[in-house]
Structure 1
Amino acid sequence: MLKDKVAIIYGGSGSLGAGVAAAYTEAGARVFLVGRTEATLRKVAEQTGAEYDVLDARDERAVETHATSVVERAGRIDVSLNLVPRGDFQGVPLAEMSVEDYTRPVVQGITCQFITVRAAARRMTAQGSGVILSLDSASGNGSPMLGGTGAADGAIDALIRQVAQEAGPSGVRACGIWTAGVTDSLTPEKLAAAGAPGMDETAVQGVRGHLDGMRMTKRSPRIADIAALATFLASDASRAVTGTWVNATAGMFPS
């Protein structure tokens, strides 16, 4: 589905990035992983056959320089996907949350997304084609006890819709994927970073079961499900899909 296409995955060293990278390379794409830690990037690259570059996707100069280098090496950029973590902090009522903990995912998330979206849009509009993708939890629809996650998701939702409108006449599509949690990507370390320290694997299994129970299908999306959807959205098979967010929450949020 992605034969001869060139894709960049920002935040590509995580479990979801690795899953999408594997799906993209299997579908025929040349994939460039971007992240800040070489060891984890190298591991994913070895597992998936992707290439990797070490940089901070929140550094606009570094992102612009890297995008130029990808075009020089591969000839074009067909797909740009941003999966960079935002520093979300959850599980505390808004009335008890600090300003910093609430605003951090909003500021870091929209800044990083804007930088990578802009870099992709500049090159894709020049070549007359391309797909810009993003992913969030769909909490812009409203979710209690998730701190700034809802505001961050809402901002990114709006960004993707706007760039789709502006770049669409040049042949560029922009779409997002709502997940409301990808359960097999959850780890004690990830949950601790989000404000739930001290959780062991048994506790994580409890979180996964709780998320499953909130879905219409009673089954949460898995990494393979999202990777397959991201492959479809990046392909010409979805050429009529743009300016929207695909609801892959398994019915947690109806739309």
Structure 2
Amino acid sequence: MLLENKTAVIYGGGGSIGGAIADAFAAEGARVFLTGRTPATLETVANRVRAAGGQAETAVVDALDAAAVNDHIDAVVEKTGSVDISINLITSEAIFQPLADISTPDFVAAIGKGLTTHLITTKAAVRHMVKQESGVLLFFGGSDHANVSPGMGNVQIGFDAVESLRKQWAVELAPHGIRTVTLLTGGVVDTFPDIPEMAGARQSIIDASPLKRAATMADVGAVAAFVASEKGRSITSTQVNISFGACYG
């Protein structure tokens, strides 16, 4: 198995993408620690992982609370001996409006939230990974500078901000054997609500691909597991494009 005896911490582990990554990591032998703010959704994912034969534990952690994040990851390392993979799936609060219509305080608060949680969770993992001289930090969303669309409001800006943060981490952490990789998807269609209003957005993502396909949750999980494994050890300081060619970041 690709991730046998590895410890993975997933922030936002109760969400659809977090759950898909947890499924994939656990199927490859990792012990997954799922964090979030809603116990019920975390337990739903954990129970699914366990039913499939995997190892999963949950904790209610506010990823904007540095003390809580640090206490949790310290407890994980005390229990398992290491933290090998950390991924934060919490993004900036999406405001799908023209920039001119978004109030400055709302814009700053939304982008700030995304950057704050990523800074907190990465710093927490890095404290241990530097001592280990190993580890993988995964980020989600990425930058696609060739495909900027109207109506996206602060969404892509938030992803771009986190990607800039990831690039800085990459150059600072590489000397410690720590890899940093962003998963660039261009949109995961099976996470969209199954309502008529979303049909156009779903189809536009598919149409943008030369293969006329779009990444699914299973695709994200499979690629994340490979990148985080020793098989993906040559991949770092970059984005991994899993958009079926729709993105050119």
Q: TM-score, normalised on structure 2?
A: 0.92
Query: Structure 1 stretches of 5 or more lacking a match?
Result: 189-200
Query: Structure 2 stretches of 5 or more lacking a match?
Result: 51-55
Aligned to 2:166: 160
In 2, the alpha carbon distance for the partners of 1:148 and 1:136 equals: 13
Q: How far 1:214 moved relative to its partner?
A: 1.8
Root-mean-square deviation over aligned CA pairs: 1.5
**What percent identity do the matched residue pairs reach?**
38
Q: How far 1:181 moved relative to its partner?
A: 0.8
Aligned to 2:134: 129
Q: Deviations along 1:42-70, whole A, 9 cap, x unmatched?
A: 11110112111101011111101111000
The answer (yes or no) to whether the contact 1:11–1:85 under 8 Å persists in 2 is no
Q: How far 1:250 moved relative to its partner?
A: 2.0
Q: Deviations along 1:12-43, whole A, 9 cap, x unmatched?
A: 10111111101100000000000001011111
Q: Deviations along 1:168-208, whole A, 9 cap, x unmatched?
A: 111111110111110001126xxxxxxxxxxxx23333321
Residues 106-255 of structure 1 aligned to structure 2 (within 5 Å): 106-136=111-141, 138-139=143-144, 142-187=148-193, 201-255=195-249
Q: How far 1:245 moved relative to its partner?
A: 1.0
Q: Secondary structure at the match of 1:125?
A: helix
The answer (yes or no) to whether the contact 1:135–1:176 under 8 Å persists in 2 is yes
Residues 15-164 of structure 1 aligned to structure 2 (within 5 Å): 15-49=16-50, 50-90=56-96, 92-136=97-141, 138-139=143-144, 142-164=148-170
Q: Secondary structure at the match of 1:145?
A: coil
Q: How far 1:254 moved relative to its partner?
A: 2.0
In 1, the alpha carbon distance for the partners of 2:238 and 2:199 equals: 32
The answer (yes or no) to whether the contact 1:88–1:104 under 8 Å persists in 2 is no
Q: Secondary structure at the match of 1:18?
A: helix
Q: Secondary structure at the match of 2:227?
A: helix
In 2, the alpha carbon distance for the partners of 1:202 and 1:145 equals: 18
In 2, the alpha carbon distance for the partners of 1:94 and 1:86 equals: 15
Number of equivalent positions: 242
